[in-house]
Amino acid sequence: MSPDTRWFLTGGGGQLADALEGLLDGEVFVTREEHLDLRDAAAVTAAVQAFRPNVVLHTAAYTDVDGAERAEEQARAVNVHGTRHIIDAVRGTSAQVVSFSTDYVFDGRKGAPYVEHDEPGPLNAYGRTKLAQERETLAWAHGTVIRTAWLFSATGRNFVRTILAAARERAAARIAEPLRVVDDQIGSPTYAGHLAATVVEALGEGLGPGIYHMAGGGACSWCELAREVVALAGLPVEVAPITTAQADRPAPRPAFTALTTERAIPQPPCWQDGVAAVMDELLDTR
């Protein structure tokens, strides 16, 4: 991208936005620094029209899957209405709006990795709001949707950090009880740092409007992911498989949502490389 690009980055402080921010050349407007709430249409319009972005990297979202199940309207207010406010604000310009979406737009019944043209069918409220966000984005002539999955980074709330903290606690207290982790949901874990670099590379190559899948290569269960984290941390903690039914979470989860692509676009490295990269960061800051 040109060093003159003007980037409007939503979701600062979030996993993906933080990873993207350090990679952007040019002027960057970070919504969090300006205390911009995407639910406030007038404020979004004023901020976008004052900054005049070439590209909006729209990473902000209501991302609590179980929270959305209990409060779908709150999730919709951010994911759907917030996105509409951005699109309304760039109308009349040629700004590209890049929205990030999720493997949870699929029902998980395909039995093979999902490609971009597969039919969505979300099972939970979060997935419904993200699918509606995709449609808002694609209604814009310069709208790009990047679907990713199972994001983790060295900051924020994510599965890798939760497992590392739980395993450290067990090891320190010499608790013999295993960590019990769901083994019948399969997905494509993605390191936010790898995704951010891939997004910037793809935009540099001229990624246009449409839907694209970008996720860590390969697939695994949450239990396998947890075992990888515990092994790399060198902790003497057993990780035992449980079923989705035993986990008893408020939001239903799809069983198999590995993502792959049918497009000639850059892809992040495999999920194991992603875990190795984040563990390097996490173990360094111990």
97 lies in the binding site for ligand NAP (CB under 6 A)? no
The single-letter DSSP state of residue 78 is I
Nearest approach, Cβ of 244 to ligand NAP (angstroms)?
Answer: 17
Site for ligand NAP in 57-96 (CB under 6 A): 59-63, 78, 82
CB 190 within 8 A of CB 16: no
Cβ nearer to ligand NAP, comparing 19 with 167: 19
144 lies in the binding site for ligand NAP (CB under 6 A)? no
Closest by CA position to 210, among listed 262, 283, 149, 166: 262
* Stretch in the footprint of ligand NAP (CB under 6 A) among 88-96, 150-158, 199-207, 265-273: 150-158
Active-site hit among 62, 114, 126, 212: 126
3-state class (DSSP) for residue 251? coil
Cβ nearer to ligand NAP, comparing 54 with 102: 102
Our CA angle for 16, 217, 146, nearest 5°, is: 45
257 lies in the binding site for ligand NAP (CB under 6 A)? no
* Stretch in the footprint of ligand NAP (CB under 6 A) among 35-43, 204-212, 233-241, 269-277: 35-43
Cβ nearer to ligand NAP, comparing 156 with 252: 156
Cβ nearer to ligand NAP, comparing 54 with 148: 148
Q: Give 3-state DSSP helix, strand, coil % of the chain, rounded to 5.
A: 40, 20, 40
Helices (H) and strands (E) in the chain, counts: 11, 12
Q: Which of 1, 6, 13, 67 binds ligand NAP (CB under 6 A)?
A: 13
The angle that helices 271-284 and 222-233 make with each other, rounded to 10 degrees, is: 40
Active site residue 126: yes
Cβ nearer to ligand NAP, comparing 80 with 230: 80
Q: Name the burial class of residue 85, with classes exposed (0-12), middle (13-18) and buried (19+) by CB atoms within 10 angstroms of its CB.
A: buried
Nearest approach, Cβ of 175 to ligand NAP (angstroms)?
Answer: 27
167 lies in the binding site for ligand NAP (CB under 6 A)? no
Rg (CA), the chain: 19
Nearest approach, Cβ of 60 to ligand NAP (angstroms)?
Answer: 4
239 lies in the binding site for ligand NAP (CB under 6 A)? no
Q: How far apart are CA 21 and CA 23, in angstroms?
A: 5
β-sheet bridge partners, residue 178: none
Residue 234 falls in which region: left (phi positive, over 0), alpha (psi -120 to 50) or beta: left
Which residues are identified as catalytic? 126
**Chain contacts with ligand NAP (rule: CB under 6 A):** 11, 13-16, 31-32, 37-39, 59-63, 78, 82, 100, 102, 130, 148-151, 156
